[in-house]
Amino acid sequence: MEHNDTEVKSNVENLELYAENHPFRLPLRIKDFENEAEFKKFVRNCEKLIRGSLEYKYWRDYIKDVLGVNTCMVTQERMDECTIEVHHHLPSLFVLVKSMVLEKIEKEKEFSTFDIAMEAIELHFMNRVGYVTVIKSMHEKFHNGCLTIPMNLVRGDYGYFLRTYSHYLDESDQETINHRLSITESNCTWEKNIYPGQEVHEVR
């Protein structure tokens, strides 16, 4: 078996691996992507890392268990009756991560998956993301395009995202954001019905 005598070294200051007899160096951080597919894969990986982190779980649990935001804002059903989920609303987690990466690229700042994930989690703990609580089926309806959500129900400082990151997004994303911002209780896909003891919003 042939033995490879190549000695791997590290530029510790730049977090970069290299070998004397190879021209290619491997940096931890990057500045751009070779193509759109690589860019989207990176964003998805960041999103997956965030969703799988304990910190993200603690954030969701704090909203539901400590703050008591544990009823569906559409049906008014409680957490002890069904599964209540925290839905990112303006922006989606994917769009948040995407905009953060685009900002880094435009400003020519180096970044890694972990840098982006950490910054995104910090925004959650700064209460600078918009969210609503909904039952699982309503969450599915939204992502299937069958439900709109009035902005007056959204909690969290989503305005921070609008001021800081939204202008890095493309026209399609901007249109989606503007459409969601325009949704009120008078033009949403809900029909209010009053039942004894509670107010229920029925999806049209």
pLDDT in tens, 35-86: 999 999 999 999 999 999 999 999 999 999 999 898 998 888 998 888 999 9
Given the DSSP bridges, would you call strands 8-11 and 16-19 parallel, antiparallel or unpaired?
Answer: antiparallel
**Residue 52: helix, strand or coil by DSSP?**
coil
Quickly count: other Cβ atoms within 10 Å of residue 4's Cβ: 6
Amino acid (1-letter code) at residue 108: E
What is the C-alpha separation between 32 and 49, in angstroms, rounded?
A: 20
Residues of the chain with pLDDT > 70, as a percent, come to: 90
Tell me the pLDDT tens digit for each residue of 103-118.
Answer: 999 999 999 999 999 9
What is the C-alpha separation between 139 and 25, in angstroms, rounded?
A: 44
**Residue 130: helix, strand or coil by DSSP?**
coil
Amino acid (1-letter code) at residue 4: N
For residue 63, give the DSSP letter: I
Q: What is the pTM of this model?
A: 0.84
Given the DSSP bridges, would you call strands 16-19 and 84-88 parallel, antiparallel or unpaired?
Answer: unpaired
Tell whether the torsion through CA atoms of 161, 165, 169 and 171 is positive or negative: positive
> Residue 174: pLDDT above 80?
yes
